[in-house]
Structure 1
Amino acid sequence: MLKFTGQQLKFDLERNHPTVLERFRVDAKDRQFQFWERNPLSVICQSVAMTEQKLQYIHLNPVQEKWRLAETPEVYYYSSSRFYLENKDDFGFLTHYLE
């Protein structure tokens, strides 16, 4: 996901905001631009309870007062919350975590 989204950001900035793209230029051997932290935190969910805890955290993030991106998790477009509540997959690739 990081590689894909990074490429999409780069393509969009090249087309629409080339001066902003320069803010992401790095002096690295393997890349010209960097959008994400090199070593993101990955957590292995070792139980159903832990998976549900992480999923709830992700779903509640957009409704936090800090962000205020939505009134409820299911109305935030980029959330999978609607998938779990209404079985509606707006993206065409979601699967239930128990499958």
Structure 2
Amino acid sequence: MLLGEVYFWTDTVKDWNQVFSSEKYKQIIIKTLEELVKRKKIEVYAFVIMPNHLHIVWRMIEVNGKEMPHASFNKFTSHQIFQDIKLQHPEKLSDFKVTDTERNFRLWQRDPLAILMDTQNKLEQKIDYIHVNPLQERWQLCEKPEDYDWSSARFYETGTDNFGFLTDYRNLL
């Protein structure tokens, strides 16, 4: 990923574990995005948090220390979620065990999907995809996109930013 470019990003939980059926883990995602926006490391245009993955349309603005903001996002969210799992659900820890040289546990699968949003059509198609994701037959998390609390759909439908960190993608055009 390059600084200054807008990407459609998909991060998937290792082995498709449904970590984000827990509201507190979804809150960790929200708080981390909020902090990175506040520190002017990223801009977030759209997102959805699904039970075992998330999609974000975002721009990396500047590095966070020595790492790209998406790396900081993954590292921080993993750390926070694993802290809670160790304390509250230690039996679940084995679901995330890995034999990597750099770590014992992995929350996010390696190599998240990052697609450069280089046309308005592609950008709008991905944002629409994000917003209807909770309605898919497999999930059935809500009846209308704006009814799902863990997405930017309501922001685009009503103009209300319940998260305080969203930037309207139409400002890019």
Scaled by the length of structure 2, the TM-score of the pair is: 0.54
Equivalent-residue separation in structure 2 for 1:63 and 1:72 (angstroms): 7
Report the equivalent of 1:90.
162
For structure 2, which runs of at least 5 residues remain unmatched after alignment?
1-72
Sequence identity (%)? 44
Q: How does 1:52-91 map to 2 (within 5 A)?
A: 52-91=124-163
Structure 1 ranges of 4+ moved more than 4 A = none
RMSD: 1.3
- Structure with max Cα Rg: 1
**Secondary structure, aligned partner of 2:137:** coil
Structure with greater contact order relative to length (CA < 8 Å, sep ≥ 6): 2
Equivalent-residue separation in structure 2 for 1:74 and 1:11 (angstroms): 32
Alignment of 1:17 with 2:89, yes or no, is yes
Scaled by the length of structure 1, the TM-score of the pair is: 0.91
The structure where strand makes up a greater share of residues is 2
Alignment of 1:4 with 2:65, yes or no, is no
**Secondary structure, aligned partner of 1:68:** coil
Q: How does 1:22-37 map to 2 (within 5 A)?
A: 22-37=94-109
Figure out how many residues of one structure are paired with residues of the other and give that number.
Answer: 99
Residue type of the partner of 1:86?
Answer: T
Residue type of the partner of 2:120?
Answer: V
**Secondary structure, aligned partner of 1:33:** coil
Residue type of the partner of 1:77?
Answer: D
